[in-house]
């Protein structure tokens, strides 16, 4: 009995009601245009800060979705170096081969969006993600399509649940050739819709032993860059997917069914993109604040701990900043943390909080 979409006669003729996508697509195009309009009014330094954050978020989140945690300072340093960006508070941090490979793939997808998407290019991305030819302790085929069956399974041994079984490996080369030809053809659908179809289609075939999710999201980024006709990305699709990870997997599983109707998946994907752009709009204030802080400190010699904490405070810090938290994050003594903080108070970028509490806390000053 047929169970999956690729077993349906006429595959890969995806079905969906384009009229039901009209309103979500209109919202997405409006949000996208609003973001670009706001960016035009910003200085080049702030644009670079947003670009660096968006690309770094994309690399980190795409790996985190698959259960891999990358070091943020290393990611930012690698991205900035490759893009030639001198960003506020940038820490020169060495990156391992896995981080460098993830960054290389993400930037190739957007910086070289005009180059054709070919099997060889995908093989290069795959080899960059797995430079040692292993996924964890397991040896995998790298730089080539998989040679074995692959299933997505969850649950304890003996009570496994199979969520999806990919097509047999012998079908992959021919089917991927069809996919790549479609990817290179002029879009006959809305550009954002094409990115959603491409990501789903790639995930349905799962052509590699591992790394399919990361490569599939990079393909979506490539098509989005083509839609924008720009290598500069100011929002992160993967960061939004990470925030909605359960829904992401639920929608992929639902779209793999035999019905062939992918309207629900496209509606979710378009909504996710819209929310990613709206999140990026909210990051504008953070970028402006960060740029103002480091402009004030341009002639001041601050250490790596201080630069690292100022980036955290303007991006993703929750709760109150105390010397204990500073000490824990930077793995330094309480006295060192206090000296770092007092120096930044003296330079006018931190101040003692008036919110009260059992411990003295600190917050960013309004500049």
CATH code for the domain defined by 5-287: 1.10.3290.10
Average pLDDT over residues 362-367: 84
User: In the predicted model, what is the mean pLDDT of the chain?
Assistant: 90
The token pair at 337 is 């943390």
- Quote the DSSP letter at residue 256: T
pLDDT tens readout for residues 103-117: 999 999 999 999 999
The token pair at 189 is 């659908």
Average pLDDT over residues 73-85: 91
Ranges of each domain in the chain: 5-287, 301-364
Cβ atoms of 192 and 266 within 8 Å: the answer is no
Res. 311 pLDDT band, cuts 50 70 90: confident
Cβ atoms of 225 and 110 within 8 Å: the answer is yes
Q: Which of 293, 295, 292 is nearest to 344 (CA)?
A: 293
pLDDT tens readout for residues 128-160: 999 999 998 899 999 999 999 999 888 887 788
Cβ atoms of 219 and 180 within 8 Å: the answer is no
Overall CATH class of domain 301-364? mainly alpha
Give the pLDDT confidence score for residue 91 in this predicted structure.
65
Give the pLDDT confidence score for residue 93 in this predicted structure.
74
Give the pLDDT confidence score for residue 215 in this predicted structure.
98
The residue among 359 and 324 whose pLDDT is bigger is: 324
pLDDT of residue 287 exceeding 80, the answer is no
Give the pLDDT confidence score for residue 88 in this predicted structure.
55
Distance of CA 350 to the CA centre of its chain: 31
Give the pLDDT confidence score for residue 89 in this predicted structure.
59
pLDDT tens readout for residues 258-283: 888 999 999 999 999 999 999 988 77
Give the pLDDT confidence score for residue 307 in this predicted structure.
87
The token pair at 346 is 């003296």
Q: Which of 123, 174, 124 is nearest to 144 (CA)?
A: 123
Average pLDDT over residues 227-250: 94
pLDDT tens readout for residues 182-224: 999 987 789 999 999 999 999 999 999 999 999 999 999 999 9
The residue among 47 and 216 whose pLDDT is bigger is: 216
Res. 324 pLDDT band, cuts 50 70 90: very high
pLDDT of residue 1 exceeding 70, the answer is no
Positions of E strands within the chain: 134-135, 138-139, 151-154, 161-165, 350-352, 362-364
CA 295 – CA 215 distance, rounded (Å): 37
Average pLDDT over residues 55-63: 96
pLDDT cut 90: percent of the chain above it: 65
Res. 99 pLDDT band, cuts 50 70 90: very high
Give the pLDDT confidence score for residue 122 in this predicted structure.
98
Give the pLDDT confidence score for residue 318 in this predicted structure.
78
Domains 5-287 and 301-364 share a fold: no
């Amino acid at each position: 009995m047929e169970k999956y979409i690729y077993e349906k006669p006429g595959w890969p003729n995806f079905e969906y009601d384009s009229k039901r996508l009209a309103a979500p697509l209109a919202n997405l195009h409006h949000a996208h245009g609003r973001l670009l309009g706001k960016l035009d009014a910003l200085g080049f330094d702030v644009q670079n800060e947003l670009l660096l954050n968006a690309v770094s978020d994309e690399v980190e989140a795409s790996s985190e979705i698959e259960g891999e945690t990358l070091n943020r300072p290393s990611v930012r340093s690698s991205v900035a170096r490759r893009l030639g960006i001198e960003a506020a508070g940038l820490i020169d941090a060495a990156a391992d081969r896995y981080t460098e490979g993830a960054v290389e793939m993400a930037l190739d997808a957007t910086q070289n969006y005009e180059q054709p998407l070919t099997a060889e290019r995908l093989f290069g991305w795959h080899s960059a993600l797995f430079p040692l030819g292993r996924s964890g302790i397991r040896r995998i085929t790298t730089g080539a399509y998989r040679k074995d069956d692959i299933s997505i399974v969850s649950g304890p041994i003996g009570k496994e649940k199979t969520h999806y079984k990919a097509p047999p490996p012998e079908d992959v080369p021919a089917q991927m050739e069809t996919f790549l030809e479609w990817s290179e053809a002029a879009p006959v659908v809305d550009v954002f819709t094409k990115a959603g179809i491409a990501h789903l289609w790639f995930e349905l075939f799962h052509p590699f032993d591992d790394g399919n999710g990361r490569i599939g999201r990079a393909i979506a980024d490539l098509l989005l860059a083509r839609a924008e006709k720009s290598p500069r990305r100011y929002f992160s699709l993967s960061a939004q997917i990470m925030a909605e990870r359960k829904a992401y997997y639920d929608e992929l599983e639902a779209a793999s069914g035999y019905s062939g109707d992918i309207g629900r998946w496209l509606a979710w994907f378009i909504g996710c993109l819209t929310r990613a752009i709206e999140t990026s709009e909210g990051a504008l204030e953070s970028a402006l604040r960060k740029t103002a802080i480091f402009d004030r400190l341009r002639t001041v010699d601050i250490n790596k701990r201080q630069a690292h904490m100022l980036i955290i405070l303007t991006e993703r810090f929750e709760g109150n900043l105390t010397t204990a938290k500073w000490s824990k994050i930077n793995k330094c003594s309480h006295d060192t943390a206090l000296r770092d903080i007092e120096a930044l108070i003296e330079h006018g970028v931190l101040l003692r909080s008036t919110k009260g509490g059992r411990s003295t806390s600190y917050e960013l000053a309004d500049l």
